[in-house]
Structure 1
Amino acid sequence: MSPTDATSLLIHLSTRDIAILESLRSYRLLTTAHIRRLHFAQGHASLAAASGAVMRVLTRLETRNLVARLARRIGGVRAGSSGVTWQLGATGERLLRTMHGEKQRRRYVEPSPAFAAHTLAVADLAIGLYELQDQAVIEVVRVDTEPSCWQSFVGPHGTFEWLKPDLYAVTASGDYEDHWFFEADLATEHPPVVVRKAKVYQRYAATGAHQGRHGLFPAVIWVVPDTARAAAIEAALSADTAIQPELFRVVTTEDFRQLIATGGGTSPDAEPTAPQQTTH
């Protein structure tokens, strides 16, 4: 798409239309309900009115191939339009690539159910942060999605490694900031896999790279579906003597917002070997 073609298309799009496309670019997949919560939370008399408005906008964008719906609905037919999952359409991808000055094409295909479920779970965490901000509970300073939140580093034996969090965020409350790495856990991996991922976080923390840039290391939060899964992960982490327990937290999706609202960091006076999560 040439800059001239992009300009011609942009004439027909509102600021909110572009914001929806940018959200799909960031999160890769969003349900209709997610898009309503992000971009239609204000200015509607009822939830039904907001739901109707979002579908009208998405249908209009779909006719221009700016967005595309997946064949599989989240929650099945009973979920209705709220369960429809969306991604960028081919034209939407080309438009944003032109706007951002990027040349490499992103291919959007029908993802597997497992990939879609995990991607939507991560998006739900990020949207939860913005909803807390709308409620004046916190301020969202920064949210980085994959792959922007990935970090490369050299491990203890000189090997090149990647840390790949699901989400990185900085939130603020009063005079304090909280820094977070989030892992959206759907109970699909064995606990030993979680322990191995925790050790990657520890190796990255040991480099001091993040602390050098930000003065602290984020809290690492596994967000799990229920208390049984939380207990299984906590037991696996506790059983491994190489794990630094002060670096990790495990919370259920039900308790996620309460954790963010109250802050999950340790004392700013924590020792360097136990990286801190909260600072003035």
Structure 2
Amino acid sequence: MIEQLVDQLSPRDRAILLDLARVRVLTGEQLTRLHFQDLSITTRDRTRRRVLARLAEHDLVTPLERTIGGARAGSAGLVFALGVTGQRALPLLASARDAAGGGESRARRPWTPGQMFLKHSLAISELYVQLHEAQAASQLVLGRFAVEAAAWWPDGAGGLLKPDASACVAHDDIEDSWFVEVDRATESPVTLGRKLRRYVDFARTGQLGPDGVTPRVLLTVPHERRMRDVRNLMARLPPPADQLIFPEFFETATARVVQMLRE
């Protein structure tokens, strides 16, 4: 049954499922930018609604109960995750293991998380979408993007670094590896400082990340007040913090990645 269903999926259907496997949640607007942007303005929203309705009918995707952006956002503000059938179909899709972070797990009915957790998850997804848009604009090649447990990495001291995401981007013969922390100013500066110190310790002991180098750390912040907190924390961290951790406002984070790739 699932095999027959997968055989009927279009390349775009498959890409939607793999993106949801990779980042867990995407809004209708984010899915439009990823998979329907090449359509005309008059047809892209209608086509997205039709495609997602068809996938939802087979429980390949499912809309969560909570929306983002208020009533005016309409279906573009709906948040989608993989349905149970979509989770079961992943092993049959090309590169599904890499997209989902490896390993098979029991399919679970998606649940709607709290607003704070959901907004954080969607911010990580937004960074993924922006990097894809930079790739479409020939500014970089996105070689890898992993979130949640798929991005975690041994810290060399018996524990795990737990970044929100990790990524590898390239341009020409240059390749940059990143750990990503999407900070929304919900943690205390003390807690954030401890997290940043672990990245410094990782680098000081010569540990390597998933791309065979010590990744830089992209720390996105939501506003100027939080940036001041981060700068105060950075001033108290030992070397090589200033060459390792790069704080940036979320809105300009992708541009910073592109800029550093070309330096």
Once the two structures are superposed, the pairs formed by residues 237-276 of structure 1 within 5 Å of their partners are: 237-240=234-237, 244-263=241-260
In structure 2, C-alpha distance between the alignment counterparts of 1:36 and 1:225, rounded to whole Å: 24
Cα pair distance change 1:192/1:55, threshold 3 Å: same
Q: Match of 2:199, as an amino acid?
A: Y
| Other-structure match for 2:57 | 63
| CA drift at 1:11 | 3.1
* AA in 1 matched with 2:8: H
Structure-1 residue corresponding to 2:198: 200
Q: Is the 8 A contact 2:84 2:107 kept in 1?
A: no
Identical-pair percentage = 33
Aligned twin of 1:118: 120
TM-aligned CA distance change 1:251 to 1:139, over 3 Å? same
Cα distance change on mapping 1:200 and 1:17 into 2, 3 Å: same
Given candidates 189, 201, 223, the residue that maps to 2:220 is 223
Distance across 2 between alignment mates of 1:195 and 1:256: 20
1:233 pairs with 230, 233, 251, which one?
A: 230
Q: CA deviation at 1:251?
A: 0.5
Q: Which residue number corresponds to residue 31 of structure 1?
A: 27
The corresponding residue for 1:179 is: 177
Do the aligned residues in 2 keep the contact of 1:219 with 1:264 (CA within 8 Å)? no
Letter in 2 for 1:50: R
Aligned residues of 1:195 and 1:236 also touching (Cα < 8 A) = yes
1:51 aligns with 2:52: no
CA RMSD of aligned residues (A): 2.3
- Between the aligned partners of 2:148 and 2:188, the Cα distance in structure 1 is 22
Question: Post-superposition, which runs of at least 4 consecutive aligned residues in structure 1 deviate over 3 A?
Answer: 97-103, 239-243
Q: Match for 2:151: what amino acid?
A: C
Q: What is the TM-score normalised by the length of structure 2?
A: 0.88
What is the match of residue 150 of structure 2? 148
SS in 1 for 2:159: strand
- Report the counterpart of residue 14 of structure 1 in structure 2: 10
TM-score, with normalisation over the residues of structure 1?
0.83
| Equivalent in the alignment of 2:100 | none
Shift of 1:67: 0.9
Gap regions ≥5 residues in structure 1: 266-277
- What is the CA-CA distance between 1:241 and the residue it aligns to? 5.1
Q: Is residue 139 of structure 1 aligned with residue 141 of structure 2?
A: yes
> Which stretches in structure 2 are left out of the alignment for 5+ residues?
98-102
The 3 A distance-change label for structure 1 pair 194 and 235 is same
State the partner residue of 1:75.
Answer: 69
CA 1:213–1:224: 2 relative to 1, 3 Å:
closer
| Conserved 8 A contact 2:200-2:238 | no
Amino acid at match of 2:229: A
Q: 1:40 to 1:200 in 2, by over 3 A?
A: same
Is the CA contact (8 Å cut-off) linking 2:152 and 2:163 kept in structure 1? yes
Structure 1 residue 195, shift from structure 2 partner: 0.9
* Counterpart secondary structure, 1:255: helix
* Conserved 8 A contact 1:150-1:164: yes
In structure 1, which of residues 129, 147, 170 is the aligned counterpart of residue 168 of structure 2?
Answer: 170
**Letter of the 1:150 counterpart:** W
Q: Is the 8 A contact 1:128 1:257 kept in 2?
A: yes
